Amino acid sequence: MPETTALLLEQIISAPLIAIVHAQKESAVSTLQFLISQMEEREEAGKKKKIPLMLDFSYTQILQDPESGKIEAVPMKMSIPIVTLVPIPYISIDEAELEFKAKIVTSKVREDKGLKSVSLYAIYGAKEDFDLSGELRVKIKAKRTDIPEGLARMVTVLSNSIPVVRDEGK
């Protein structure tokens, strides 16, 4: 049997859970960094504001005058916030399943301010083959979930504010 080091059972259990929380935080930070990268900073009335980057384009639309029936090519222009055109990177961990076997090898009674507690020390191994090699099997399912409500509302407001106007410069 290979030599193993006993760890506090609470450390064996909490370490992967803490790692999952950190991964979730990193995902949130990445989403926020993406959103900020889709903005430009402008100064208006002495205040700095973040304004969405826009995709501006012009096109010709064929319109029929309802009164005269005349068909004409009308130059048009449109500005679309880029953030409404691309998928927003947002992933959350849907489920985490930790599987391992642990063998309690010792315990230690502690007393702090009159309260007694027991610390359990264990060695652990994979669920299938309990060779105590220290292998911890972690199964994580990550999937794209619905974006947070505030982010969805922001994208909806930006999408609803896309102007289509005559291009008077033509």
For 57-95, what is each residue's pLDDT tens digit?
A: 899 989 888 888 899 898 989 889 999 998 888 888 777
Residue 131: CA atoms inside 13 Å, Cβ hemisphere, count?
Answer: 6
pLDDT for 37: 95
Domain residue limits at 46: 7-52+87-156
User: How many of the other CB atoms lie within 10 Å of CB of 67?
Assistant: 6
Q: Say how far apart CA 7 and CA 120 lie, in whole Å.
A: 8
pLDDT more than 70, % of the chain: 85
Domain count within the chain: 1
Say if 36 falls within a structural domain. Answer: yes
pLDDT for 4: 65
pLDDT for 53: 94
Tell me the three state secondary structure of residue 45.
coil
Using a cut of 0.85, tell me whether the model's pTM lies above it: no
Say if 69 falls within a structural domain. Answer: no
Which run of H or of E encompasses 101? strand 101-112
